[in-house]
Amino acid sequence: MVVPVIDFSKLDGTAAERAETMAQIDNGCEEWGFFQLVNHGVPKELLDRVKKVCLESYRLREAAFMESEPVRTLEGLMAAERRGEAAAPVDDMDWEDIFYLHDDNQWPSNPPEFKETMREYRAALRGLAERVMEAMDENLGLDKGRMRRAFTGDGRHAPFFGTKVSHYPPCPRPDLITGLRAHTDAGGVILLFQDDRVGGLQVEVLSNGRYRSAWHRVLPMRDGNRRSVASFYNPAFEATISPAVGAGGEYPEYVFGEYMDVYAKQKFDAKEPRFEAVKAPKSA
């Protein structure tokens, strides 16, 4: 599968280059649910520093991961096999070490340059996410800034911008456990940095289903430590979200925080029932 690759700098090029790039973004959102951005304006030097501090932070956490439930569970399955017993693959946990960064939580203190580097990175990614959203606004025929206003409740609340730092250590039996189970993401725009790639994912309800989130998963590998840094530009929990494109949409109006309560319990299930669960009651 060839992932769409989009030169984001051409939005500032000639009229023909801009039109072609906008069409590529529209196709990536509508037909794929994700795409890879190049020449996106985030300095390579900054990306290199992010890669370095995230790897160093994992090395400080590695011993704890080796004592975690996924590792103990997999060791138990392998021990059972050695005794001649059948070992069924685990389908309710992930071979993944993660921590989250947002404005209000505690960040790792080591390595010493971690906080400064990740603050700079998150500021750059937040700006990039807003530029991607403006391109989506234009492609969907919405006023510039329409999605951002919806995410902030017309400026009354700050959007939720979180970053998930993940590592997938070498797994001795990738046939018995997943790296990350198949799921769709919730929220707005997800910018993913892995192996020097920055890609955009997902807007669904505001586009009335035209731009859909894509199912994706992570497979564990026997060799190598895989890194993934995903930044989520999501609506404020207080924001009310409803279709902004077309009429008679398949999605209800809902408060994003209520949807996230449902999503936390149903992340790895089909997404349609989540919207039913938060559907606002009709007034009489």
Mean pLDDT of 142-167: 94
What are the domain boundaries of the chain?
A: 44-279
Q: Decide if pLDDT at 259 tops 90.
A: no
Q: Decide if pLDDT at 282 tops 80.
A: no
pLDDT at res. 66: 94
Q: Are 140 and 210 in contact (CB under 8 A)?
A: yes
Selection from 39, 47, 33, 106 nearest residue 227 by Cα: 47
Separation of first and last alpha carbons in the chain: 50
pLDDT at res. 234: 92
Q: Decide if pLDDT at 249 tops 80.
A: no
Q: Decide if pLDDT at 284 tops 70.
A: no
CA angle 222, 165, 263 (to 5 degrees): 100
pLDDT at res. 280: 52
Mean pLDDT of 104-128: 95
Q: Are 173 and 117 in contact (CB under 8 A)?
A: no
Rounded Cα distance, 218 and 271, in Å: 19
- Identify the band that residue 200 occupies on the pLDDT scale cut at 50, 70 and 90: very low
Task: Extract the runs of DSSP E, i.e. beta strands, from 211-282.
Answer: 216-218, 226-234, 240-241, 254-255
Mean pLDDT of 93-122: 94
Whether the model pTM is above 0.85: no
Tell me the average pLDDT of the chain. 86
Residue 112 vs residue 212, higher pLDDT: 112
Q: Give the CATH number of domain 44-279.
A: 2.60.120.330
Q: Decide if pLDDT at 129 tops 70.
A: yes
Q: Decide if pLDDT at 197 tops 60.
A: no
